Structure 1
Amino acid sequence: MPTYTFRCSEGCYFDALFSMAEVPATAECRNCGGLAKRVITAPHLSATSSAAFQLLDHTARSAHEPAVVDRLPSRGVARPQRVTQNPLHAKLPRA
């Protein structure tokens, strides 16, 4: 939900959360109780990487747009086993 900044005639500033469809042009000042007008400010942009946003978008999209499979996986082709060279992995149980 976007944050909007308001300023009253007394010079008080405060922030308020409103949905974009319901944001009022004026609000009651939280400090002095006067009438405050909405102030145009710079948007609060996130510093999150695009990879993080892609993951969030993919997760949200998969909830209402699940991936559709157009054919069954083939049974005859076995996946190659990955072999590790790490000596610590030799102590792990084998499936």
Structure 2
Amino acid sequence: MATYEYDCPRCGRFETRQPMGTAADSHTCPTCLGNAHRVFSAPHLNAVPEQLSAALAREERSRAEPEVVTEVPDSPSRLRP
């Protein structure tokens, strides 16, 4: 289902959920039952969380410039308190 936005001259904007590609140029306003015209707006995109963005950037960098390990890292059990 896709979200479509309509503008009623009397009540303002409202959204409807319909199968993709089935939205008409006009729709009945749910408040006043008047004729509302379809408007086009920016899609609702979600922001990527900062940690995920950093992980994706690190993964992409490693494709061309992989991080090389020169020694075995200390295990947590071998670390001194």
**TM-score (ref. length: structure 2):** 0.53
Q: Is the 8 A contact 1:12 1:31 kept in 2?
A: no
Aligned length: 59
Answer yes or no: is 1:36 the counterpart of 2:36.
Answer: yes
Identity percentage of aligned residues: 35
Task: Give the TM-score of the pair, scaled to structure 1.
Answer: 0.47
| Residue of structure 1 in register with 2:22 after alignment | 22
Superposed counterparts of 1:33-72, under 5 Å:
33-48=33-48, 49=52
Aligned partners of 2:11, 2:76: CA distance in 1, in Å? 65
Q: CA RMSD in A?
A: 2.9
Deviations 1:16-74 (A, max 9, x none): 111222111111001111001111111111224578xxxxxxxxxxxxxxxxxxxxxxx
Q: Which has the larger radius of gyration?
A: 1
**Whole-Å Cα distance in 2 between the matches of residues 21 and 7 of structure 1?**
18
Q: What runs of 5+ residues in structure 2 fail to find an aligned partner?
A: 56-74
Greater RCO between the two (CA within 8 Å, min separation 6)?
Answer: 2
Which has a greater percent of strand? 2
Contact 2:6 2:13 in 1 (8 A): yes
Deviant stretches of 4+, over 3 Å: 48-51
Structure 1, unaligned runs of 5 or more: 52-84, 88-95
